[in-house]
Each structure stands twice: as structure tokens, then as C-alpha cells.
Amino acid sequence: MTDRDREDIAYYLPHDRDPTLDTGEYYYLQYTMGKTGNPRVIRVYALDILPHKDGTEYGIYQYRRGRYHRIDAGYGDFSRGVRMGDLYDNKQDCRDQTHMGCHWWEELRKKQMEDV
């Protein structure tokens, strides 16, 4: 691992991965128009791969009441999804949005785990 990788990990991934997450499961900061309008952290599964002109997006689903429910990424268009930088592997980083825009964070996490 390079020094640059170590710096990126310290900056983008300040907290450890949540070991209770399933394969393909992430945390996502959902903005709602509810009573408070405050964003909330939810657990989602990235089940769809959606090629888009600006890069790959993922259709995300929340598992509730025995089935998967598609989460609107805010575009009002189910052919759009979220970028990998919007998904997190622990709740605190998601709340803090530590790697918003960093779409290669999973590669950094793999390097971090190999280095341990």
C-alpha cells in the first residue's frame, strides 16, 4: 500500500466497516419530506446496475416486510440510481458523508483490510 492510499483511507474511511452488513448491503443517507425533513440513515441493497452517461449508478432497495422496496434516489426517475460514493459501509461515515464523491472507496477498503 502506498502512502497516498494510507492518506486516502484516513480521510475517506475514518471508521471500520460494520460487520453486520450483508454482501451487497450498504448504508445510505435518505432525505425525506417528512415532518422533520431531516435526513436519515437507512440500510439498502444495491441490486441494479444502471449505466448512465456520467458513470455507473446503482438501483437501491430497502428490505421491509419480507420484500425489497425500491428507493427513489431523488431524481423521480427509476432509470436513475445512486453513485458508489453515496453508499457507505458504516453508519457514522454515512451520517458524516466522509466519502461523498469518492467512487473508489471500496478499493481503498480492500487495501486497508489486506494491510491489517
Cα distance between residue 15 and residue 13, in whole Å: 6
pLDDT digits (tens, 9 = 90+) for 4-30: 999 999 999 999 999 999 999 999 999
Percent of the chain's residues with pLDDT above 70: 97
Average pLDDT, the chain: 91
**Positions of E strands within 1-114:** 25-30, 40-52, 55-64, 67-70, 87-88
Cα distance between residue 55 and residue 52, in whole Å: 5
Query: Counting beta carbons within 10 angstroms of the beta carbon of residue 85, is it exposed (0 to 12), middle (13 to 18) or buried (19 or more)?
Result: middle
- pTM, two decimals, is 0.89
Cα distance between residue 39 and residue 58, in whole Å: 20
What are the structural domain ranges in the chain?
Answer: 17-97
